[in-house]
Amino acid sequence: MEYGIFQLIIMSIFVNNFVLSRFLGLCPYMGVSKQLDSALGMGMAVTFVMTMASMVTWVLYSFFLAPTYQSVFYLLFDTPIDKIPDLTFLRTIVFILVIASLVQFIEMYIQKVSPTLYKALGIYLPLITTNCAILGVTVLNIDMFFKDGLPLDNSFIHTLVQAFASGIGFTIVLILMAGIREKLELANIPKPFRGLPIAFIVAGLMSIAFLGFAGMSVE
Amino acid sequence: MNSNIFRLSVILAIVTTVAAFVLAEIYSITKPRIEMQKQAKTQQALNFVLPNAKYIEPVNKKIPIKDGKGNVLYEKEEVLYYIGYADEQKKEVTGYAFKAFGSGYSSIIETMVGIDTLGKIRKIKIIYQQETPGLGANCVNSEEFNGKKWSIEQFSGKTIEELKVDKDGGPIVSITGATITSRAITNSIKQKLEKLLPVIQKNTMGG
Amino acid sequence: MSLLTEFYKGIYKENPVFRLALGLCPTLAVSSSIINAIGMGAATTFVLVCSNTIVALLMFLFNKFLSEEGRKSINKIRIPVFIVVIASFVTIVEMVMAAYFPALSESLGIFIPLIVVNCIILGRAEGFASKNSILPSMMDGLGMGVGFTLALSAIAFLRELLGSGQLIGQTIIGGGFKPVLLMVLPPGAFLVIGIYLGFFNWLDSHRKQS
């Protein structure tokens, strides 16, 4: 309600980092973050989908799902205010279908524009659909920037900023992780911990570092 | 090629429509219950924050809902605040109550606040929050760390000037690791109180 | 492959969290208390069983009543169809939880709708239910769900106990025990899972030796 834009950006990237604080976007984090360039490519793709999906779902929720005076049923079809159908229960299905379609388009686009990137991302590209960060940010936008179905002040801008900044935060952490893991490949780690276990422990240590941001007051 | 995409879309549309119908049915069953739960929760919160009131009455206000051009579309009636009376005869006011809304970490936090006739906080109760489980979500409880304790009880007896978290120089102890949640609750109460006190005073003078 | 085998494999040998490394997001977020862990586990198990069943049923009907060409086109659309099926059951869980278990629903927050993108569910729908018959798919869903719940609870056990001295809200370690706050915070989640994963790897290689 009272978020400044700069405050929101800093919060989304550091204080409320999607991976290390909100636990969203972990699967690709563990899988793709072994090499720096694919980490960057994945991060950018995820950021793009997060931003686009947030915009589309914001519009769909405001004008189609929420039974308010902004609903198309009221504006275009003149349904009386108290008879507008409450379609908010369709939120999950509509949002995930939007995301799945967006990822499909991006897949086709990347395949045409940069076949090398397409090959490098491999199976992780369609898997962006199941990335909790994307559905997570769209649901978060509604929970944070809507009240009783109506958007709060500057809701759309806040949604856009939060989505983009969270994606950047995700990308930063992904790249950091990739850098560390590249070095880890050469280190002498006890056998049971090689691979996934040590990745988690490193993530834990990074998370402690990011906790330092938690007390940050961005006024 | 095109007919193929058409056929695929039809299949997907059929599955989605069936799903939507089933869900709509279930929603019509659960929605009234969810509403009822909300009402019960509000009533429970009111009774908690206004313990001396045997009769609680809302003061409503008609809020005009305008469209983008400023034309009034319709008027919506909303509760501005609640008055707590000692009994049904409404002769003695024991206090007032209102809902405060604050943007927290991952949700809008709703707090029910009860104040005495002088504007000092009596009790608060968190009605709704979806903050981080195990962290900000503990705002509804008491949480102690290193001798410092966050609790909703610490708000009792505070005046409007004292509504600041420790990180902002005030006496309210925040939840360790959940500054945003603590601050949202504290500041939302302060802002709503600042807005409401003059209105309550005006209403009591006039009426 | 008896039905019981389909059920058991989800518990240890193919435990979705500790062996297949699936469903990590909710695992980390919700494992700070045992009640949350069991609630999330139950919700996920419900969706798993229902979606596996419907997916197996749909594939059975498609394969039975469609021509060769029809089956080829279904193949292209199957993932979105699975997603709609899963999303529907998740929506049912959302609504029922909000109506009958409001405290748990508030506790689990956005992770309830996020059950949709829990890789376990789409993974099993695509990897098992679409290729097997209805009853084994049900058992597979049940086993994976229970395995997931057990994994969540194991993590929650450590995190809640060490992080707050409590279990299921009851104080277990009292008097003077300074809880390791880090445990209920995000880092604690990562560290506990990392240690468990390492432990299970070690257990595995140890078994292979003997």
pLDDT tens-place string over residues A26-72: 777 666 656 777 788 888 889 999 999 999 999 999 888 888 878 88
Burial of C123 (0-12, 13-18, 19+ CB in 10 A): middle
Q: Is B179 on the interface with C (CB under 8 A)?
A: no
Chain B neighbours, 3+ Cβ pairs < 8 A: A, C
Q: Which of B3, B18, B23, B107 to mutate to test the interface with C (most CBs of C within 10 A)?
A: B23
Residue A217: what pLDDT?
46
Lowest-pLDDT range of A86-100, B146-160, C59-73: C59-73
Three-state SS string over B34-92 comes to HHHHHHHHHHHHHHHHCCCCCEEEEEEEEEEEECCCCCEEEEEEEEEEEEEECCCCCCC
Q: What integer pLDDT is reported at residue C91 of this predicted model? A: 94
Look up the pTM and report it: 0.85
Name the residue with higher pLDDT: C194 or C173: C194
B180 — contact with chain A (CB < 8 Å)?
yes
Interface check A59 vs C, CB under 8 A: no
Interchain proximity C32–B133, CB inside 8 Å: yes
DSSP C44-95: HHHHHHHHHHHHHHHHHHHHHHS-HHHHHHHHHHHHHHHHHHHHHHHHHHHH
Could you tell me which of B61, B63, B80 has the C-alpha nearest to residue B72?
B63
Report domain extents, chain C. Answer: 3-151
- Tell me the three state secondary structure of residue B172: strand
Chain C residue with the nearest C-alpha to that of A101: C80
| Min Cα–Cα distance to chain A from C151, Å | 15
Q: Nearest CB to C186: which of A21, A192, A196? A: A21
Could C194 and A25 be called an inter-chain contact, meaning their C-beta atoms sit closer than 8 Å? no
B8 Cβ partners below 8 Å, 6+ apart?
C73, C76, C77
- Mean local confidence (pLDDT), C29-54: 91
Judging contacts by C-beta atoms under 8 Å, the chain A residues touching residue B101 are 1, 147
What's phi and psi for A175, nearest 5 deg?
Answer: -65, -45
Q: Do C191 and A23 touch (CB under 8 A)?
A: no
Interchain CB contacts (distance < 8 Å): B and C: 81
CA-based nearest distance B176→chain A, Å: 9
Measured between alpha carbons, how far is residue A33 from residues A37, A110, C185 in Å? 9, 20, 23
Please write the tens of the pLDDT for every residue from A131-176: 889 999 999 899 888 887 888 878 899 999 999 999 999 999 888 8
Write the residue in C29, C102, C109 that is nearest to B37 by C-beta. Answer: C102
Tens-level pLDDT at each residue, chain B (207 residues): 566 777 778 888 888 899 999 999 999 999 999 889 888 889 999 999 888 888 888 888 887 776 666 677 777 778 888 888 888 777 788 889 999 998 887 778 999 999 988 888 999 999 888 777 667 777 887 666 666 788 888 888 888 888 888 888 888 888 877 788 888 999 999 999 998 888 888 877 654
C207: its two tokens? 């078994």
**A69 close to B74: Cβ distance less than 8 angstroms:** yes
The lowest-confidence range among A6-10, A74-78, C115-119 is A74-78
